[in-house]
Structure 1
Amino acid sequence: MTLELRPPRHEDETALRGIHAQMLEENFEFLLAEGEDWGAVLEQVTRESRGVDLPPGRVRADFLVAEVDGVIVGRTSVRYALTDFLREVGGHVGYAVAPPFRRRGHATEILRQSLARLAQAGVERALVTCDDDNLGSIRTIERCGGELEDVRNAGADVPKRRYWIDTGGFIVMDRIRGSSDPVLRG
């Protein structure tokens, strides 16, 4: 069972919108834009990955789905720079695992691979945040070497824990045969 991070595709729409609906029940926006035409969502993902024509307040970022044995189990947003908002509460990485796939190690592997991507891009220290009451994310971040800087009440209902992780220990091990996409292992 290998977890792979990859860009979303046209055929992922139904699965991703289904996970988005589940995650909204937890007040988490799984997709970048819920109501948009799927083609527009994929175009936005491509623009952000390339860092082209970004709207104000956006940075170059990879929005990737996490897939295990052909099933989408979660996603990550890997941001290669920090805005004031991201420095305060958003961080370099935003990840999520769909409720039916939790407690199987997927979150840890998603975060490890996200940190490896940041390391490959030259980001030496990554900020990763989570809600102060999210014990699963706290454990995941700490398992990946997160050092708590502080807990901030940034106007949200729940304060945010802010962790820094040195990315040097997360390396690119291999490349998928015939692809320029790295297989990342932490």
Structure 2
Amino acid sequence: MSLPNPHDAMQSLEQAIACGEVRLQKGRVDPTLWMTVDKPNGEMRLTYVRLEASKVVALVMAIACDPYESKPCFNLGYAVAEPCRRKGYAKEIVKSAIAEMKTGFGGAGIVEFYVEAIVGEDNLASIRVAEQVISTSFNSKPDGFTGVPIRQYLLRVAGDTVIHTPK
């Protein structure tokens, strides 16, 4: 077994956008970011994308997971289209997605939440993004579903404060 690959979701989303199956709205904080909300399997999923023409060049999915310290927590998955890699898109879209979540949740009265990234130990590009945007601290362990070695990064977002938190 392997970890879910957000790149697969990026390709599926691009097809759904092209077919008109998904309606995107502009971000409030970052007008170059587009988003959609759905509830596959009954859990809220926020999807943020950067587009060039009709192509998805970068994606972040935030899926509600178990609360942490009694606060909402969202697992982040991110991907960048191969031709656009090594240009900083992943870091930019993860930062923008967190800012959009903070604004949207703040409007709904949620002033504190956590985001986590579960990254395979062998995914060096995603590790760099997680360590630069989410936290330099991580918890190493086998993934609970696949047994694959992972790193778990956690970020606390509260008011105007972003606190990198080891889990």
Q: TM-score, normalised by structure 2?
A: 0.61
What does the per-residue CA deviation read over 1:76-97, in whole Å, with 9 as the maximum and x for residues that have no partner?
1123x2159xxxxxx5211100
2:98 and 2:6 map into 1 onto residues whose CA distance is 25
Gaps of 5+ in 2: 26-35, 68-73, 163-167
Show the counterpart of 2:132.
143
Tell me, yes or no, if the aligned pair for 1:124 and 1:166 is still in contact at 8 Å: yes
What is the root-mean-square deviation of aligned Cα atoms in Å?
3.6
Identical positions, percent: 22
Does residue 89 of structure 2 align to residue 106 of structure 1? yes
Number of matched residues?
132
Hey, what's the Cα distance between the residues in 1 that align with 2:152 and 2:7?
18
Whichever structure has more helix as a proportion of its residues is: 1
Deviation beyond 6 Å, 4+ runs, structure 1 = 34-37
Q: Deviations over 1:113-164 (max 9, x none)?
A: 1222232313522111111111111111110142313322334373222110
- For 2:52 and 2:124, locate their aligned partners in 1 and report how far apart those are by CA, in whole Å: 24
- Quick check: 110-119 or 130-139, which moved more? 110-119
Residue aligning to 1:38: 19
Stretch deviating more after TM superposition (98-107 or 117-126):
117-126
Which protein has the bigger strand share? 2
Deviations for 1:33-64, whole angstroms, at most 9, x for unmatched residues?
A: 57879344x16x89x71x5xx45x34222222
Q: Which residue of 2 aligns with 1:65?
A: 49
1:28 deviation in Å? 4.1
**SS of the residue aligned with 1:115?**
helix
Q: Provide the C-alpha distance between the structure 1 equivalents of 2:89 and 2:6, rounded to a whole number of angstroms.
A: 20
Distance in 2 between residues matched to 1:111 and 1:103, nearest whole Å: 15
Counting only pairs closer than 5 Å after superposition, residues 13-28 of structure 1 correspond to structure 2 as 28=7
